[in-house]
Structure 1
Amino acid sequence: MSQTLLTDGATVTAAVYDNRTLRLRLELIVSSADTAASRLQALSRELDRPTNVLRWQPGTTAPVFFRTLRSPINRITEVAGSTMLRLVDVDILAEPFAYGLRETLAPVTVPNNPASPGGCYLDIAGAVTARTPTCGSAATS
């Protein structure tokens, strides 16, 4: 935003989306401490990759996918009185937009002659859907 004393209000000079944080609480239910250690190690390996993909399908027919970045485990809580339950809190840094399933478009021919009807132009506005962030969830727009 840029402002000046010569006008009222501000002008938006650029729009950039920041990365998002995906906050997860995982319940790890295991039969032994060795199994818990190996599962936590596997989770740590996945979180330690430079980039990864997280599939999220909150009761919808189609999943969305987030490209994630290297993130740590925030906290591991062992539930008192139970050697089988551990709560794992993870904040995963991800790109700002979710990706949907692959969309297949019908085959088309785009003429390379600007003089032909509709030349050098293809309108796909009705054929493509986008996923945009809305208050911590992904919505189709």
Structure 2
Amino acid sequence: MHISETTIKVRYAETDQMGVVYHANYLVWMELGRTKHIEDIGFQYAEMENEGILCPVVDLQISYKKPFRYGDTATVKTWIEEYNGVRLTYGYEMYSEDGELAVSGSSEHICVKKDSFRPISLKKRFANWHEVYEKVKKQTQS
């Protein structure tokens, strides 16, 4: 399993009236983690989009354990939790500077044709992505 790491310095604009990171900003951080993970394993999401393929989010789970505040540094860890050739689930954990787990979550995606939103098989359409995803996804224990 490959785990990518992205470091984010919390900006003032990301916080709410309570002085903590507004919950929707964690979704942006998940996107940053996903993009970094795709790059780390040797691809660019823009390549897929240029060929008329999108991978929209179809399910999202997030659990807030500890808030981040302005000036904090968050480390976002991202990996492929599940992959079956059509559906792809990324896992995320966000850690504080002292190594404490602050946020965990997952996002499920389906790759579709841009013009019709019909699902496609990565195995058939992007065989090289499929092979790498199979290699780097989380290995389940038997």
TM-score interval, smaller chain: 0.3 to 0.5
TM-score (normalizing by structure 2): 0.32
Greater relative contact order (CA < 8 Å, ≥ 6 in sequence): 2
| Larger CA Rg, structure 1 vs 2 | 1
